[in-house]
Structure 1
């Protein structure tokens, strides 16, 4: 795993059992993994680069084969010399009524494929909602084990749960003073008022300024910034401009404005194929432009830096202003390879407004192929050995 810290600054945890290794995972990758297939490469006895592949939300023909091919592709690109990775399936699903592990068939198929391809996993395990299992366990009674064993291993290794970064699925705590200021400013802006202004040629740049301001070192959301952000991303136009610059570069937006004027962006719609929007002609379609987007390490690093700020802002907003921001945050989490967090944010947006066009759009993105994420933490607090 990549690290910006000198090797001597890292603590080394020696894992003697599968339970030990499972206990160290949150410290190794920087967060508690959920609903994913986690691959940890090893250099001799030390854990190296980690990769996460989101698990499919529902079974589908060929999905297991595609997932296994993704694992092999990632491993081959890792440049591993030892070819002894650890693979862990983490899921919110429970064990079956007869003790059968979730994703057992996937694990067994993956093990066969890895061995045929010259890979010899040192760990292959599943952590479920109500227990765990090591598929490489040679004991005759290879069955479900209690999660308390992992907790016991954690305590024995001296790992403090307080050191684990906050769960990314939790929004920051609402701050009453700031929230009251934001509510007052939102009332002045009037949600639903025409935006962007028909005569304005500067609104795309004002939206970009919101993003660039948030990326400045030491930025903390203000009432004015939060209200302006919510106003912008509550409309297809502002949502598109903010998202496009966040996942690519402002040069694309600058080029459109310089060539066609801000009116071209003002015609942005969610999806021009829908009956209600077919009259928009050549309007910019968010779905058509973003449905083929490819997540890159650079993009994910940028979004990971931005997401805590956007999440903090969303948690301070009045309920009627949250759907647009939450849908954008959800899509960003999906691009970061965290579909479970994405589903939660988008679900919250739809709970607030079941007909919100941008929240419905974000939910459509969740139906696309999952995104794999390499190097999920840039500064691990520990190395497993």
Structure 2
């Protein structure tokens, strides 16, 4: 059952917006989309950088607005939008900042057939509507948003605490001794694991992983499936080292990432596709290729959250040089849930270690273009 919140005025509406995106946006534009009178989605994007000249700014604003509104157009049934800018800039007595950009956005929204119900700004020193000619040049007091009682009608269960992007992307603390054990095991397992897709898990590795089964699984997907069931706080160093050693191979990295997002059968299909690719099949002809780009069925969010929790522990245990594949998997899984801001944090962390890592480069392009998985636009 959905929770209905009625915002009586713009200040109430602005009090709700952070809860629609799950965190306090900064230097962002949030598109709150409506079907009829009800919100159905909230999409956040970075504000564009300021251009060197007015002409360059107009061209940039038009290009960015076209891209962003194109993304909104993929949402089924949306007929109205309220763009909201969150910025550390201030009104400063000169009116709402980023007015030229918002003008380009609202023009494009209306050209594309959307009703623009309002266009709002939350700045460092006030808030206001770009469409309200009576809005003071210094903005309206932020206290009106802070004092809003609109959220009081939500239960404690429905009112999720606002997340923090940096906290969502933070890795847990692990002991130095465990980290040293993992580093040694990664070297040992790397010598035993052949990156060629389809090779069974070496029995010595399977025994060392110590999975909670009488007979350890003998193939990569079933071994990975068993590891996914482990409590992140209780993962054995050998199991973490197994994952770290496996994902050195891009093909097997994708097996881990997509299997842990979807299911065991998906992992087996991706492994088969990797084997076919190694034999010369073109990448775009592989049945699983679309999943990487967000085309296909929506993954189970609870399973993805489980994978993220586990991979964060594995990343924390990994030697620094071995972290980029794990960090990029965390980025993709976050992106799969629609958390592009969190994905960006993981990509940045991977780039800090290896700026030329292939998947980091691909994810950087995806994020900079504002792309979202197609299942993010599916109803339900």
TM-score (norm 2): 0.68
Answering whether residue 245 of structure 2 is matched by residue 235 of structure 1, we say: no
Equivalent residue, structure 2, for 1:209: 222
5+ residue gaps in structure 2?
Answer: 50-59, 203-217
Residue 86 and residue 293 in structure 1: after superposition, are their counterparts in 2 closer, same or farther (change >3 A)? closer
Residue 157 and residue 306 in structure 1: after superposition, are their counterparts in 2 closer, same or farther (change >3 A)? same
Residue 130 and residue 189 in structure 1: after superposition, are their counterparts in 2 closer, same or farther (change >3 A)? farther
Equivalent residue, structure 1, for 2:350: 349
Contact 1:186 1:227 (8 Å CA) reproduced? yes
Question: Tell me, what secondary structure is at the counterpart of 1:25?
Answer: helix
Residue 183 and residue 68 in structure 1: after superposition, are their counterparts in 2 closer, same or farther (change >3 A)? same
Equivalent residue, structure 1, for 2:308: 307
Contact 1:37 1:88 (8 Å CA) reproduced? yes
Contact 2:94 2:137 (8 Å CA) reproduced? no
How many Å separate the matches in 2 of 1:165 and 1:210? 36
Contact 2:95 2:136 (8 Å CA) reproduced? no
Equivalent residue, structure 2, for 1:273: none
Equivalent residue, structure 2, for 1:26: 18
How many Å separate the matches in 2 of 1:297 and 1:259? 18
Equivalent residue, structure 1, for 2:45: 54
How many Å separate the matches in 2 of 1:109 and 1:259? 44
Question: Tell me, what secondary structure is at the counterpart of 1:190?
Answer: helix
Displacement after TM superposition at 1:348 (Å): 1.0
| CA-to-aligned-CA distance 1:138-183 (integer Å, 9 cap, x gap) | 41525545655433336995989x9514324423563445x64354
Question: Tell me, what secondary structure is at the counterpart of 1:88?
Answer: strand
Question: Tell me, what secondary structure is at the counterpart of 1:62?
Answer: helix
Residue 37 and residue 195 in structure 1: after superposition, are their counterparts in 2 closer, same or farther (change >3 A)? farther
Question: Tell me, what secondary structure is at the counterpart of 1:15?
Answer: coil
Contact 1:96 1:102 (8 Å CA) reproduced? yes
Query: What are the residue-to-residue correspondences of 1:323-342 with 2, within 5 Å?
Result: 323-342=324-343
How many Å separate the matches in 2 of 1:305 and 1:158? 31
Displacement after TM superposition at 1:129 (Å): 6.1
Question: Tell me, what secondary structure is at the counterpart of 1:197?
Answer: coil
Contact 2:126 2:142 (8 Å CA) reproduced? yes
Equivalent residue, structure 1, for 2:205: none
Answering whether residue 200 of structure 2 is matched by residue 167 of structure 1, we say: no
Alpha-carbon RMSD across the aligned residues, in angstroms, is 4.6
Equivalent residue, structure 2, for 1:124: 119
| CA-to-aligned-CA distance 1:349-383 (integer Å, 9 cap, x gap) | 2223344444344434435552177589x9xxxxx
**Greater RCO between the two (CA within 8 Å, min separation 6)?**
1
Contact 2:128 2:139 (8 Å CA) reproduced? yes
Question: Tell me, what secondary structure is at the counterpart of 2:31?
Answer: strand
Residue 187 and residue 336 in structure 1: after superposition, are their counterparts in 2 closer, same or farther (change >3 A)? same
How many Å separate the matches in 1 of 2:253 and 2:243? 9
Residue 217 and residue 252 in structure 1: after superposition, are their counterparts in 2 closer, same or farther (change >3 A)? closer
Answering whether residue 185 of structure 2 is matched by residue 188 of structure 1, we say: yes
Displacement after TM superposition at 1:320 (Å): 3.6
Question: Tell me, what secondary structure is at the counterpart of 2:131?
Answer: coil
Query: What are the residue-to-residue correspondences of 1:1-385 with 2, within 5 Å?
Result: 5=1, 10=3, 13-33=5-25, 35-41=28-34, 44=37, 47-52=38-43, 54-55=45-46, 59=60, 62-74=63-75, 77-78=76-77, 83=79, 85-91=80-86, 94-95=89-90, 99=94, 101=96, 103-112=98-107, 114=109, 119-128=114-123, 132-141=127-136, 143-145=138-140, 147-153=142-148, 157=152, 163-170=160-167, 171-172=169-170, 174-177=172-175, 180-190=177-187, 193-194=190-191, 196-197=193-194, 201-203=199-201, 206-209=219-222, 211-213=224-226, 216=229, 222-223=235-236, 224-246=238-260, 251=265, 254=268, 267=278, 282=280, 289=289, 293-295=293-295, 298-299=298-299, 301=301, 303-304=304-305, 306-368=307-369, 370-371=371-372, 374=376
Displacement after TM superposition at 1:298 (Å): 0.8
Residue 134 and residue 234 in structure 1: after superposition, are their counterparts in 2 closer, same or farther (change >3 A)? farther
How many Å separate the matches in 2 of 1:307 and 1:42? 32
5+ residue gaps in structure 1?
Answer: 268-280, 379-385
Deviates more, 1:327-336 or 1:339-348: 327-336
Residue 90 and residue 193 in structure 1: after superposition, are their counterparts in 2 closer, same or farther (change >3 A)? farther
